[in-house]
Amino acid sequence: MARLSASGVGLPDGKRCGSPSASGVGGDLRLTTQDRWLNFYHGGTMRRGALVIALIITPFLWGDFTRTSGLVDIPTAPSLKPGEFLIITNTSFNLRSGFSYPVEADFAVRYGINDRSEIVISAFNIDAYALSGMYQILEETERRPSICFGIDNITYNSYISPIGIRRGRTYPDHEYKYRNPELFSCFFSFTKNLYFLTLAAGLGRGRFVGYGPRSHYFNTDGLFGQGWKEGHGSAMAIGLFFGLAFRFAHGFNLIFEMDGRDGNIGARYQFKHGALNLSFSHLEGTFSAAGGPAGNFSTRLSAGFEVSSLLWTGKIRHGVIAGKVIDEVNQEPVTNVILEIKELNKRYKVRKGQFKLTLRAGGYTFEFRKRGYNKRIKHVTIKAGKTVEYTFYMAKTPEALKKEMMAESLDVIMKRAIFFFNHDSLLQAKQQFELALQIDPDYEDAKTYLEATNRKISELIGIYRTNALVATDRKDYATAIRNWEEVLKLDPENERAKVEIAVLKKLMTRKPTKKVTKPVKKVSPEEIEALYQRGVRLFGQKRYKEALKIFNTVLKLDPNHTGAKRYKARTEARLKAAGG
């Protein structure tokens, strides 16, 4: 069954179900609208001539079963303004002889609840009714399509027949051999406008699932199951629908689509407050033999029109506001702002610093709030039928500015401290990391780097202490004093270094004739290993001459140190290759 769109690309479908003549059904039934049409159609040439006239007049009297905004029969994004409603009418007839119910007429009213959702009440030949609704989850942007969720056929019948329902018997739609219940046909649809094209696609159950010779390839039952061939299809089968519309000048559209059951084509001419529609639907029946899965259906030609309530209200009551929320200092969008409209008592979340709302014309008070910013109140005026643009500037609170300044200074301090750390300026690095922790005691990166800096300082102290002891053992007191002074630079409170320097200075002032022997503390394996690791780091930094001195010192303390022997050979080879 076809749908009709107010989006500029839709039209009514006349997708109708025919069947061989129902003359043998019988029963004491009152003549319904369909019976009268049949008697009229088979009544002779004069009546057929009158029928042609009726076909011309009927589009202005009745309408096709139409749900939410769409192409021919597949849904697209909502298109009505809040409070606007559309009256949609259509009539159609089948194009194959020998089918019952050649003419039918439907009627629908679609209402825009807000700028994201709409509902439709539909009547089939005025003796069967259904409700449909749709909500737009995401609006269309340059990079993504709009995404909508909806439900069709909210009604009291498991199946929806476009020619209505009568007591005592069903119509051919209900006798479709392979057909899923259409009650609550849920769907997701995706719509994208590209230049002169509108593309639409989606997934749905119920009315979007077909089992024809071609349509069964577009649903889960046809692809993964076999039970549908015996009439045991899954009620929860999911079908694929898709289509496109070519938008030409002066409001003319040409549409092609596959609605999950059948192929449809149509044309639509849109004017200011309505549209004229023409379509061919049930195209799969054109290529199917009678009696087959799709053979009891006739391709149908339908025509109709739609009229917007704006035609007789005399004016557009709504306008659009497109707003931006900007930081007044850095001119960047402010994200996740709460917007409250006082007059409506409604709140919205402006996620990316931009918003667009459709509101009734008039004045409103907009209040913007976000943690860390001063409240911003602005009075705006919405003009009917127009889009107004506003830029709202927000200022940060003094507390937020202070915190931001501290964060910026903290970033500078950390960059400087890491530079010192990477260049072995450990005392300066330690000072900067401690300063960062004074600003933010919970700064984990500063804590981690400070611990690493203290470890490197301890390692260097151990190396200088070992060098000092070795130099003292060789009676090279000047070298020993220099190493102890390096220890004091790294640890100004190191008492041992102070004592050792004082003793060594006294030894240097004694006369050469006097021999002074002072027991030298034995170097521990841990200190030798620390000295060795220092040499390895120097080797990795390509400071080969310094590394060679340390490896020689390690081998004097421990002639059997395998690592020092190996690295000494590698260091000498590097120096030789470099010509040093």
Domains of the chain, residue spans: 62-311, 318-396, 403-578
What burial class does residue 224 get, using C-beta atoms within 10 Å of its C-beta: 0-12 exposed, 13-18 middle, 19+ buried? exposed
Q: Which uninterrupted H or E stretch holds 349?
A: strand 346-350
Nearest Cα residue to 387 out of 316, 446, 445, 470: 316
> Please, are residues 455 and 421 in contact by the beta-carbon 8 Å criterion?
no
SS3 at position 231: coil
Q: Residue type at 375? A: K
Strand order of the β-sheet with 337-341 is 346-350, 337-341, 362-369, 376-382
Q: Which residues contact 108 (CB under 8 A, 6 or more apart)?
A: 4, 63, 64, 65, 66, 67, 87, 88, 120, 121, 122, 123
Q: Which residues contact 333 (CB under 8 A, 6 or more apart)?
A: 324, 325, 326, 327, 352, 353, 354
| DSSP strands (E only) in 185-262 | 185-194, 197-204, 239-247, 252-258
Nearest Cα residue to 340 out of 373, 364, 367: 367
Tokens representing residue 526 in the block: 């841990």
What per-residue confidence (pLDDT) applies to 246?
94
Residue 135 to residue 149: CA distance in whole angstroms: 5
DSSP summary character for residue 113: -
What per-residue confidence (pLDDT) applies to 8?
37
DSSP 509-559: HS-TTS----PPPPPPHHHHHHHHHHHHHHHHTT-HHHHHHHHHHHHHH-T
User: Structure pTM?
Assistant: 0.51
Max intra-chain CA distance, the chain: 150
Residue 55 to residue 302: CA distance in whole angstroms: 10
SS3 at position 216: helix
What per-residue confidence (pLDDT) applies to 198?
92
Nearest Cα residue to 75 out of 2, 23, 141, 131: 2
Tokens representing residue 326 in the block: 């900007």
Residue 93 to residue 247: CA distance in whole angstroms: 27
> Please, are residues 57 and 263 in contact by the beta-carbon 8 Å criterion?
no
> Please, are residues 106 and 34 in contact by the beta-carbon 8 Å criterion?
no
- Which residue in this structure is represented by tokens 């590698």? 570
| CA separation, residue 323 to residues 142, 328, 333, 351, 383 (Å) | 18, 15, 11, 12, 14
Residue 189 to residue 203: CA distance in whole angstroms: 7
What per-residue confidence (pLDDT) applies to 336?
94
Tokens representing residue 396 in the block: 């940060």
What per-residue confidence (pLDDT) applies to 181?
78
Q: Residue type at 494? A: N
In degrees, rounded to 5, the angle at the alpha carbon of residue 216 between the alpha carbons of residues 212 and 217 is 135
What per-residue confidence (pLDDT) applies to 285?
62
Residues of the chain scoring pLDDT < 50: 1-66, 163-164, 166-175, 290-291, 293-295
| CA separation, residue 265 to residues 163, 191, 199, 247, 354 (Å) | 21, 18, 14, 14, 38
| CATH top-level class of 62-311 | mainly beta
> Please, are residues 193 and 205 in contact by the beta-carbon 8 Å criterion?
no
What per-residue confidence (pLDDT) applies to 298?
67
In degrees, rounded to 5, the angle at the alpha carbon of residue 392 between the alpha carbons of residues 389 and 393 is 145
> Please, are residues 38 and 100 in contact by the beta-carbon 8 Å criterion?
yes
Judge whether 62-311 and 318-396 match in fold: no
Residue 257 to residue 63: CA distance in whole angstroms: 21
| CA separation, residue 31 to residues 107, 269, 405, 489 (Å) | 20, 36, 84, 111
CATH number for the domain formed by residue range(s) 318-396: 2.60.40.1120
Beta-bridge partners for 238: none
